[in-house]
Structure 1
Amino acid sequence: MIRLEAIPKELRRRLPKLETGGAIEILTYKRNRGLIITLREEGLYHVREHGYHREEFEAIGEGALLKLVGRIAKREFPRSTNVRLYTHAPGEQLLISDHPDIRI
């Protein structure tokens, strides 16, 4: 669990360590809304938003990604103060948001 306002700082720390095909998943406490950031190729990211809105964004650079995540966070986490942040390895198929039985 991290504070909502710490998301940009945490992403700046984790994005350089992410391998191609790896993902970072940001979810609400109840794990029912959030977004998934996947590194497609060096420096280009894919973002999938699920919750109040369902959108996908392709081929986004790191600067635009941080702005986009801030905009999505305001939409998806309007009353949240803490969020869950998971990092997934490239071969790992388990995304928390894709498995409703894991949710609370």
Structure 2
Amino acid sequence: MISKSNIIPAVLERLASMPVGHYLDVRTYKRNRYVFFVKKDEDSYLIIENGFFHERFDNVPFKKIKKLFKTLLKKEFPRSTKVRVYNMGEYHEEAAENIERKVL
């Protein structure tokens, strides 16, 4: 778990070193809302928001992720102080959205 105040640099660092085709799963402490960051190619990402809102942002360049993630944090994790980040490996849409996680 990472403090919400340190989450943006931590996620950006992990995204930069992540191989193409893999994804990050960023969840609230209770694990009931999440944001996926999928690396499509070297400078293009797919961002999937699932929580209060359900949106997909396709072909987002790396330099715009910081601003978008900041707004997503305010929308999806408004009162969270700790955030969970998982390196999930290869992205397969059906399998990724059906992963069972314990909800607190």
Q: 1:91 to 1:55 in 2, by over 3 A?
A: closer
Partners of 1:21 and 1:38 within 8 A in 2: yes
Residue in structure 2 matched with residue 55 of structure 1 by the alignment? 55
Task: Supply the distance in 2 between the matched residues of 1:92 and 1:46 (Cα, whole angstroms).
Answer: 12
Task: Supply the distance in 2 between the matched residues of 1:92 and 1:3 (Cα, whole angstroms).
Answer: 28
Partners of 1:26 and 1:84 within 8 A in 2: yes
Equivalent residue of 2:5, what SS? helix
Q: Does 1:27 align with 2:27?
A: yes
Task: State the 1:49 CA deviation.
Answer: 0.1
Letter in 2 for 1:3: S
Residue in structure 1 matched with residue 87 of structure 2 by the alignment? 87
Residue in structure 2 matched with residue 78 of structure 1 by the alignment? 78
Which one is further off, 39-48 or 85-94? Answer: 85-94
Partners of 2:38 and 2:91 within 8 A in 1: no
TM-score by length of 1: 0.88
Identical-residue share of aligned pairs (%): 29
> Gaps spanning 5+ residues in structure 2: where?
none
Aligned-residue Cα RMSD (Å) equals 1.8
Where is the strand percentage greater, Structure 1 or Structure 2?
Answer: 2
Task: State the 1:11 CA deviation.
Answer: 1.8
Q: Across the two proteins, how many residue pairs are aligned to each other?
A: 102
CA shift digits 1:29-55 (9 cap, x unpaired): 111102000000111000000000000
Deviating beyond 3 angstroms after TM superposition, the runs of 4 or more aligned structure 1 residues are 91-95
Letter in 1 for 2:21: G
Q: Does 1:44 align with 2:11?
A: no
Q: 1:59 to 1:32 in 2, by over 3 A?
A: same
> Gaps spanning 5+ residues in structure 1: where?
none
